[in-house]
Amino acid sequence: MARILIAEDQDLQRDLLVHQLQRQGHDVTPAHDGQELLDYLYISEAPFDMVITDNCMPVMSGIEALRCIKVGDEHRHLPIIVFSDTDDPKTIETINKLGGTFINKREPERLLEAVGKLP
């Protein structure tokens, strides 16, 4: 079982993803935007094994949160998946350059496969 932090501003999408991952036995913490994701990440007493975030969210985007996480030493090696429906090559390139992994929302099986590889 992995501890997974999820940021998604769309309630239905977030609830579906949380439900799917919990059914697989994972401990899931939901956040509504990138800032809330960072808040949970830094105040949590137990470490997370993975972060899954949407990109386009209010307050702070997934890319901004990714940038903040990868800049510091504490969570630099944490796997971060940006689960978004963008097709913009520049956005995807930015995610990859920052050390994240892009998975399109139209390919949820790839996300579940990536989570399944966690120890």
DSSP 75: T
Instruction: Please say whether the beta carbons of 48 and 5 come within 8 A.
Output: yes
Q: What would the pLDDT profile of 92-104 be if each residue is shown by its tens digit? A: 999 999 999 999 9
Query: Which residue is it, tokens 């969570």?
Result: 75
Query: Which residue is it, tokens 């097709």?
Result: 87
Half-sphere exposure at residue 90, Cβ-oriented, CA atoms within 13 angstroms:
0
Q: What would the pLDDT profile of 22-68 be if each residue is shown by its tens digit? A: 999 999 999 999 999 999 999 999 999 999 999 999 999 999 999 99
Instruction: Please say whether the beta carbons of 55 and 82 come within 8 A.
Output: yes
- In this structure, the dihedral spanned by the alpha carbons of residues 75, 81, 87 and 90, taken in order and rounded to 10 degrees, is 20
The boundaries of the domain holding residue 60 are 3-8+17-25+34-87+94-116
Mean pLDDT for the stretch of residues 6-13: 97
Which CATH number do you get for residue 53? 3.40.50.2300
Tally the domains of the chain: 1
